[in-house]
Structure 1
Amino acid sequence: MTNPPAQQQPYPGETGPMDPQPRDEMASYVGRGLLEGKTALITGGDSGIGRAVSVAFAKEGADVAVGYLSEDADAEHTADLVRREGRRCELIRGDVADEAHCTAMVERTVRELGTIDVLVAHAATQAPVDDFAELTTEQLRRTYEVNVFGVFWTLRAAAPHLASDASVIVTGSVNGLRGNKSLIDYATSKAAVMNLVHSLAQHYMDDGIRVNCVAPGPVWTPLIPATLEKDSVEGFGGQAPMGRAAQPDEIAPSYVFFASNKLSSYYTGEVLAPTGGEIQAG
């Protein structure tokens, strides 16, 4: 991937204006039936990593419910990609910062698709600050309502509906592992949900439900030009040891690995960190 030029767009961001276009359709990915007959709910599934995961799951045989905030065109395109694989796709619009919406999203998934075999809590938001003293209570609440409360509410609502061998996957971040001097509330919110993974993995051990985390490094998605200043977007990802950001298609196979009991039956409470070569302790 060529490191991107300076650019910016309104929040929450769309794929269309991005330069270069992200690789997020899993075009060269060949499924092996790893999720045949399964159903998945993916929050933040309209674009970027969420889109790539939605398509990969469909190629592996799963029906998919895609939760998204307001990016209708991106969501419709993702649904089209899933349906091209002969799988069902339900689009569920709304804000995971709303507890009632999280419950309704889960209930609609179960009503339309049946049980939930795979739950991916991916929806998140971020907003950098130059000075910690400038971090407003409004921003702090919004970040935590989306990134932490939304994950808690979605997982709690889904718990009674999870299949006996279900897989829960939470999206963390390299920033949750090592902090970030300008994405302070975002980094701490990701640390919180990564600890939730460790806790729920223990909680559900005897039930056969596995709970894991994917914690990527820099990935070229609409959230980047929608939340960072132009100068920060220019060359985004160049700080990674590989010298570039990841494409969403490069991250999605991590979710397939955790989703499939054939591949990861002995994995729970784990954090898989595709960071482009940044070595993590632990």
Structure 2
Amino acid sequence: MTAVNPSATSRVQSAIRFASSRTGVDFDYLLGQAKVESGLNAAAHAGSSSASGLYQFIESSWLAVVKKHGAEHGLGWAADAIGQNGSGRYTVTDAGTRQAILSLRNDPAAASLMAAEHASDNKDALEGTLGRDATGTDLYMAHFLGLGGATKFLSAMQSNPDASGAALFPGAARANPGVFNNADGSPRSLSAIYQRFAAKLGQGADSVTETRAANLSFAAQALALDGDTTVITGNNQSATDAIAWANSTLGRLGTEKASVLRPTPETARLAYLMLARMGG
């Protein structure tokens, strides 16, 4: 997977954060999904399908979600250009316009908003069918297998978790052998496939959370240039006291995985300390 430079990663995270706040879809879920799908690389392209972008939308799925939700997010021109033929296939008459719409998959802002809307639609549909709250992994299964496939997968797993995933989804297994088979070639069970995705989603969100905490720690450490210097924090603290408090708070916030979408007085104070040191 191609490495992504830090500035690009920051732009991607900002786009995901905005999409989460705009749609109400969980930030950590969207972040984890993007990490799993593309490694936060907005320019990623699949070698075996038409999947592209931050969330690896295939062409048909992208046209469908833009048709349904594009106008809500300033993409009315794209939504209006997408039609649907008698067989239900989404089409765009003008080749140039079609390419412009598909290229939006590589725009972090558009991709994040459409991924959030897609997840929200799938959540409503899955909960109506399953009769329970949908988890982040349930939503990822809907992204991976489609809504119908996810419903089939989850229902089968509930009744027989040890059943072979490849036997139930032979086409998907041929296209994604690493998902459906163990290293020795033996088939994974439905529950094993599900738990593997759950772990990957968690790791995806955790890795970026750790990076964010490391960046905050680096900024906070800049306060400790002179142990006797008074930092204007509103509490008349020395830099030594301020950095001790900041490190303690950063460590605890890292454990609690505080959300940047729900700032606390402590995260606000951390930001103030950094701005005070930088002259902000």
TM tier, smaller: under 0.3
Greater Rg over alpha carbons, structure: 2
* Larger relative strand fraction: 1
TM-score by length of 1: 0.26
Higher RCO, 1 vs 2 (CA within 8 Å, ≥6 residues apart): 1
TM-score by length of 2: 0.26
* Larger relative helix fraction: 2
